[in-house]
Chain A
Amino acid sequence: MGASAPKDLVPVTVIAGYLGAGKTTLINELLSHDHGRRLAVLVNDFGAVNIDAALIAGHDGQTISLKNGCVCCSIADELGDALDRVLALDPAADQIVIEASGVADPANVAAYGQGWPGCRLDAVVVLADAETVQARSRDQFVGELVVRQLRRADIVMATKCDLVTEAGLAAVMDWLTETAAGAPILTRRAGQLEPELLLETAQPTARPGRQRSHAGNGPGEPAFDSAVVEVDGTLDRDRVEAALQDWPDSVLRVKGILRFNGAAGGLHIVQRVGRRWSIEPAPNGFTPDHTGKLVVIGLPGTLYHRDLTASLNRQAQ
């Protein structure tokens, strides 16, 4: 088996968080939503599996129940096994969603996305039950773990937000912001789902230069905004790296193809999901429909198109 081109790698999204955070509900909704992606779902948790089998059948997905392991029995690597089975599916899955065990360190699961043959990591999304997460964070058995899980997140999603008062939600958002320093914090209410934020869906289309709000399927304010940032010519890689690093926490997803100048120039695939970003050389012979565009998704009312463009273009020629 040789090196595969990056575009062949299947993106892996890790859905983590302690028991009761709403991982299974979220995955069920992702499976039933018409987002056009073929999902393969790996459930890595203990006890009863509540994924709706009918939903999975409809998506040609696969659910595999995994138990936590320890180092000395790592020879039985059920997660790796399950990934191999999913990667062998024909037709292939567009995306793999791994439900991490409630006691997993998300970094350990993310490592599979990063380095398992055929996979690349899309994002680690850590769910937090808005009602209980603060109390859990003080639990003698799992408090430290709950906090550590949040600190490993690329994106944090506060769930069950409709079950707390407005003041309560404000307090928990403050706490999450402080605890998961640097990760954007999404809120989720019953029936509300934006697959664009959790998956690498077909990116929302928007006219360049315009910021556009996208309604969620729940009530209330817009779920997220998107913008297309256009650049001309080739870019200084250092500048792009700095921008990816410095853009505010409210930027949820960035994806596009840019051409860099200099010795290590050429076409590159640029991505950011929450606080995780990457720049990979485009595969040989890759002919994109368009270059010089970045699609940016962010929390409502936070994308300042001019600033985003300026931070990239200052040295573009």
Chain B
Amino acid sequence: MADMTVFVARTVRTMEPSLPVAEAVAVRDGRIVEVGTLDTMRPWLESHSHEIDDTFKDHCIMPGFIDPHLHPSMAAILLPMHFTTAVGWDLPWEDIGPVHDDEQFLARMESLDAALAPGEPLFTFGHHPIWHGPIDRSALNQISTARPIVAWHRGYHSITVNDACLRWMDLDTAAAGRHPQVDLDAGKFFETGLSVALRHLRGYLLETERFRAGLDRMRQVIHNGGHTTIGDAALGFYGFEQEWDHLQAVMEQPDTPFRIQLMPFAMGPEGDERTDDEFVERVLSYPSRNTHRLRFSDHAKMFADGGFFAELLMLKPPGHLDGRHGEWMTPPERFEAVARALWNAQRRIHVHCSGDLGVELALSTLEKLQWERPRFDHRFTFEHFGISSAQQVDRMAAVGAVASVNAYYVYELAEAFAARAVGYERASQISRLGSLERAGVRFAVHSDFPMAPAKPLNNAWVAANRLTESGAVMGATERASLDAAIKAITTNAAYVLGLEDEIGSLRWGKRADFTVLEADPYAVSAESLRDIPIWGTVFEGHKFPISSD
């Protein structure tokens, strides 16, 4: 067997400024030996045995795509469910068309019911009254009186169930009847009322076989998106050790074509820990358990305000259109204390922040920490970055922050947020990218899957076009350039994960991770970025085509 494999392609987009375009990549033991042309790499070819692999002679080789922020554990719960969302989801096992109105919703529910084995509970995800109208217990009883049905709301806030499900849950109906956020007549459990239902449903949703089947679907989703590295942006939602066991069992397999950089949920002392020192010690201990594909490093995940899809973002004045309030995930004083403990332990801090007040908390904390104990290259990362101001971007630049942005908010939510949540001006500037680019703040784009589809090309497409589902452009000057949009899923995504010396571009010594495209993204228009077909990936030198079945 030859020492080296040389992949030749119509175009190799290296994303390296010193050699942006090449024709061939020589690979040995999963790492790149040299990038260039068959001619320029002759010294290597003459001194080592090699074989030429021309599978990609009509393709474009890109650095393997990176999404630095997804949630495999949340996906493991959601992916075994059946999607009924107003926006279609192209999932590896099913291309689900959009479910636009109440008629389509009920028809979809009926066909799902007909396809399931008798007695098997039907969990759907994606009901939204704006599109599907209200549903209640009696509407779901029309679908089935025997099968438990749970219709999960697109915003995750609530579920609606049928009679069979109420029986299945063996609910204390007297207690549920007293709960201010349970409407038993309608079969609806919302906000804190959701916990009353989840008390009975959680065991089913977290059961090992189901959870691992969900994770296995996540594995397919990640591969089909063309990723070779992802970030799990908060291990430990449902139970750290349990999630870690499941991840190892499903993801650490020879045929898994990607690695996962794990960020621990770092909110301060937990369990028996009494001090921030004890908490930091735990965070520092995680890398000792690394496997080949599952790795902790020096990153830690914190949370400022509530979620964007959940509409719990904290806003500066004038706040929400309807005067509602968001939620802090951490008391601001504790946020600062925990951030300081992590900062002083040289951790790279990632902060979930959705609204401009959430951004302000993270930013003012970072400014304070920089004053107290200056650090270069700290990679303090603003995650999601839903609503912000251009002035905040300038301050981020001044203190060396980076960003990992959910650009997809623009596509699915900008118009709805304009109409219902924050008005047009701020909604049109959701997920600002143009300002970041102009200020020289490095940024990645992410999916936050299962919040948005795990498709890096789609995220880059939204970033470069800012088109909504209806086809409107929102905040044209906040578009990323095509180059910045592609860097946001390659080099800068690697930078956000602190893996820029290992992945993100193609040059000597880096991992031989490629995403293989049918067209060169720099040679198509920005509008057609998301339409470029993906052949598959190469992970550490091994080819993993995307199967078309």
Q: Does A2 contact B (CB under 8 A)?
A: yes
Q: List residues of chain A with CB within 8 A of the CB of B306.
A: 70-71
- Which of the 9-residue segments B84-92, B137-145, B327-335, B501-509 touches chain A? B327-335
- Which of the 9-residue segments B49-57, B177-185, B416-424, B533-541 touches chain A? B177-185
Query: Assuming the A-B contacts A1-B170, A67-B270, A119-B175, are A19 and B180 also in contact, with contact meaning beta carbons closer than 8 angstroms in the complex?
Result: no
Report the interface size class on chain A.
Answer: 35 or more
Contact (Cβ within 8 A) A142 B179: no
Q: Does A101 contact B (CB under 8 A)?
A: yes
Shortest distance between the CB of B383 and any CB in chain A (Å): 13
Contact (Cβ within 8 A) A3 B328: no
Which single member of A2, A80, A114, A140 contacts B178 (CB below 8 Å)?
A: A114
Q: List residues of chain B with CB within 8 A of the CB of A117.
A: 172, 175-176, 196, 199
Query: Assuming the A-B contacts A19-B333, A74-B194, A80-B195, are A115 and B178 also in contact, with contact meaning beta carbons closer than 8 angstroms in the complex?
Result: yes
Q: List residues of chain A with CB within 8 A of the CB of B375.
A: none
Shortest distance between the CB of B279 and any CB in chain A (Å): 9
Contact (Cβ within 8 A) B192 A108: yes
Instruction: Please encode chain A, from 69 to 104, with 1 for each CB lying within 8 Å of some chain B CB and 0 for all others.
Output: 011111111011000100000000000000001110
Which single member of B171, B202, B274, B307 contacts A75 (CB below 8 Å)?
A: B202
Q: List residues of chain A with CB within 8 A of the CB of B268.
A: 46-47, 67
Query: Assuming the A-B contacts A48-B274, A116-B175, A144-B325, are A72 and B180 also in contact, with contact meaning beta carbons closer than 8 angstroms in the complex?
Result: no
Closest to B278 in A: A48
Which single member of A3, A72, A103, A144 contacts B307 (CB below 8 Å)?
A: A72
Contact (Cβ within 8 A) A115 B337: no
**In the docked arrangement, what's the CA distance between A2 and B170, Å?**
9
Contact (Cβ within 8 A) B193 A115: yes
Contact (Cβ within 8 A) A3 B174: yes
Q: Does A145 contact B (CB under 8 A)?
A: yes
Q: List residues of chain A with CB within 8 A of the CB of B174.
A: 2-4
Shortest distance between the CB of B135 and any CB in chain A (Å): 19
Contact (Cβ within 8 A) A46 B331: yes
Q: List residues of chain B with CB within 8 A of the CB of A215.
A: none
Shortest distance between the CB of B207 and any CB in chain A (Å): 12
Q: List residues of chain B with CB within 8 A of the CB of A112.
A: 192, 195
Contact (Cβ within 8 A) A115 B180: yes
**In the docked arrangement, what's the CA distance between A116 and B327, Å?**
22
Contact (Cβ within 8 A) A68 B199: no
Contact (Cβ within 8 A) B332 A73: no
**In the docked arrangement, what's the CA distance between A115 and B337, Å?**
35
Query: Assuming the A-B contacts A19-B334, A117-B175, are A142 and B199 also in contact, with contact meaning beta carbons closer than 8 angstroms in the complex?
Result: no
Contact (Cβ within 8 A) A111 B239: no
**In the docked arrangement, what's the CA distance between A195 and B151, Å?**
45
Contact (Cβ within 8 A) A74 B332: no
Q: List residues of chain A with CB within 8 A of the CB of B170.
A: 1
Q: Does B77 contact A (CB under 8 A)?
A: yes
Shortest distance between the CB of B464 and any CB in chain A (Å): 28
Shortest distance between the CB of B324 and any CB in chain A (Å): 11
Within 8 A of A (CB), among B138-195: 155-157, 170-182, 191-195
Query: Assuming the A-B contacts A1-B170, A70-B327, A115-B196, are A47 and B334 also in contact, with contact meaning beta carbons closer than 8 angstroms in the complex?
Result: yes
Q: Does B437 contact A (CB under 8 A)?
A: no
Q: List residues of chain A with CB within 8 A of the CB of B310.
A: 70-72
Shortest distance between the CB of A193 and any CB in chain B (Å): 25
Shortest distance between the CB of A29 and any CB in chain B (Å): 20
Shortest distance between the CB of B98 and any CB in chain A (Å): 22
Q: Count A-B pairs with CB separation below 8 Å.
A: 157
Which single member of B193, B237, B270, B327 contacts A73 (CB below 8 Å)?
A: B237
Q: Does B74 contact A (CB under 8 A)?
A: yes
Q: List residues of chain A with CB within 8 A of the CB of B182.
A: 115
Which single member of B74, B181, B303, B314 contacts A115 (CB below 8 Å)?
A: B181
Query: Assuming the A-B contacts A65-B271, A73-B237, A75-B77, are A145 and B334 also in contact, with contact meaning beta carbons closer than 8 angstroms in the complex?
Result: no
Within 8 A of A (CB), among B262-311: 267-271, 274-276, 303, 306-307, 309-310
Using a Cβ–Cβ cut-off of 8 Å, how many residues does chain B contribute to the interface with A? 63
Contact (Cβ within 8 A) B77 A71: no
Q: Does A230 contact B (CB under 8 A)?
A: no
Within 8 A of A (CB), among B185-231: 191-196, 198-199, 202, 205-206
Closest to B173 in A: A3
Q: List residues of chain A with CB within 8 A of the CB of B412.
A: none
Which single member of A67, A75, A142 contacts B198 (CB below 8 Å)?
A: A75
Q: Does B367 contact A (CB under 8 A)?
A: no
Shortest distance between the CB of A180 and any CB in chain B (Å): 17
Contact (Cβ within 8 A) B328 A70: no
Q: Does A105 contact B (CB under 8 A)?
A: yes
Contact (Cβ within 8 A) A115 B328: no
Shortest distance between the CB of A148 and any CB in chain B (Å): 7
Contact (Cβ within 8 A) A68 B329: yes
Q: Does B360 contact A (CB under 8 A)?
A: yes
Contact (Cβ within 8 A) A103 B331: yes
Q: Does B250 contact A (CB under 8 A)?
A: no
**In the docked arrangement, what's the CA distance between A115 and B155, Å?**
23
Q: Does A141 contact B (CB under 8 A)?
A: yes
Q: Does A242 contact B (CB under 8 A)?
A: no
Q: Does B371 contact A (CB under 8 A)?
A: no
Q: Does A118 contact B (CB under 8 A)?
A: yes
**In the docked arrangement, what's the CA distance between A101 and B303, Å?**
15
Contact (Cβ within 8 A) A79 B307: no
Within 8 A of B (CB), among A12-39: 18-19
Contact (Cβ within 8 A) B332 A141: yes
Closest to A121 in B: B178
Contact (Cβ within 8 A) A75 B270: no
Shortest distance between the CB of B452 and any CB in chain A (Å): 13
**In the docked arrangement, what's the CA distance between A145 and B305, Å?**
13
Q: Does A49 contact B (CB under 8 A)?
A: yes
Within 8 A of A (CB), among B450-489: 451
Subset of 19 A-B contacts with CB under 8 Å? A3-B172, A4-B174, A47-B334, A65-B269, A65-B270, A68-B328, A71-B155, A71-B310, A77-B202, A101-B331, A103-B328, A105-B325, A111-B179, A114-B178, A115-B175, A116-B196, A117-B176, A119-B175, A141-B328
What are the 3 closest A-B residue pairs judged by CB atoms, nearest first?
A115-B179, A3-B174, A117-B172
Q: A4-B175, A70-B312, A73-B74 are in contact. List 19 more A-B contacts (CB 8 A).
A: A2-B174, A19-B331, A46-B267, A47-B338, A68-B328, A68-B329, A70-B329, A71-B156, A75-B206, A76-B239, A77-B199, A107-B180, A115-B175, A115-B180, A115-B196, A116-B196, A140-B357, A141-B360, A141-B361
